[in-house]
Amino acid sequence: MQFYRAVSLIVSILVLGFSTVILHVIFYWSQQALSQSPMPGNMTNKVVIINFDDNRKGQFTIAKPTLDKYGFKATFYAVCNYLDNTKQGYMNWTQLETLYKEGHDIGSHTMDHKNLGDSSIKSLDYQIGQSKKCLENHGIKVTSFAYPFNQGSDNKTVVKVVAKYYNIARTASSPLTFLKCDGWKVKSNQTNCATYDSRGNITYANRYSIRGWSHDLSRLVNLYTDDQLYDRFLDVVNGQTAFNNNGTIDAIPIIIYHRTGDETGDYVTDPTLFEKEMKYLHDNHFRVLTMRDLGYDTRTNDLYIK
């Protein structure tokens, strides 16, 4: 191929003259530069974080191929004692380890998916701390935690144990999370993500109560059809546009999925709908992140994208 290009260049010089060829060369290399430039998604104000809770097998067999198709990585929150319980529809360890080796983020979701709101210190240390050790014993580095049943992020005792083991933690109850924790005007008037206020009370939003939107719970509560849930998904992922401007990101939607595929029960997302949602993110140049991409600045008490 290089030989033919060289011959073409020589012929062009003889036929068209040197100055014309220079213009052709400039055009050629400008086209090459454009073809290798970053995709628009790398420069967008639109970001989203994808989460999966409970390590259901369908997340690996059905959701993962769709994520692979679009080049997306997600955070999978694993319940240690659910792994290898394949008869009940959960992943095995090999599948979870494969996700990690392929660049997905793995977080802790306790040992047994217990409600932490009324647990003893001994139980909390087992559910929260041992679940991290359990994953690390399989070579999985864990930096974040997710509360089962959206319970515990407002409990001082629970948060103290979570903070002992993890950099950040995720709960639910909001379509957006704010990096400066200043967006919940009705719920809170705080201006940063400090864990405690001046009176020592836990703040509504902080590094241990990062809020996500439960895709499947939204269907359950509102009795959405797939079309209605897709419309709500669009509202959620585009809700950030009112806050993110000129390359500055302050609001991020965190989408939480549970069951995917032909599984029965609550918290189920149809594979066709999931594919449609991921395609929308891809085609509209959303930058898809994981929880691992979030950091916390102890000087400003703000979250940030690494």
Q: What is the pLDDT of residues 73-82, one digit of tens each?
A: 999 999 999 9
What is residue 7's predicted lDDT score, i.e. its pLDDT? 42
Residue range 93-97: mean pLDDT, rounded: 98
CB-count exposure of residue 76 (10 Å: 0-12, 13-18, 19+): buried
Confidence of residue 118 (pLDDT cuts 50, 70, 90): confident
| CATH no. for 44-305 | 3.20.20.370
Residue range 267-293: mean pLDDT, rounded: 96
Do the beta carbons of residue 77 and residue 107 sit within 8 Å? yes
Q: Residue 3 and residue 9: Cα distance in Å, rounded?
A: 10
Domain coordinates in residue numbering, the chain? 2-35, 44-305
Residue 16 has pLDDT above 60, yes or no: no
Residue 217 has pLDDT above 60, yes or no: yes
Poorest-pLDDT segment among 3-7, 197-201, 252-256, 273-277:
3-7
Do the beta carbons of residue 295 and residue 306 sit within 8 Å? yes
Residue range 82-105: mean pLDDT, rounded: 97
Residue 244 has pLDDT above 90, yes or no: yes
Confidence of residue 119 (pLDDT cuts 50, 70, 90): confident
What is residue 267's predicted lDDT score, i.e. its pLDDT? 82
Residue range 171-199: mean pLDDT, rounded: 94
Higher-confidence residue of 299 and 45: namely 299
Higher-confidence residue of 228 and 44: namely 228
Residue range 296-301: mean pLDDT, rounded: 97
Confidence of residue 43 (pLDDT cuts 50, 70, 90): low
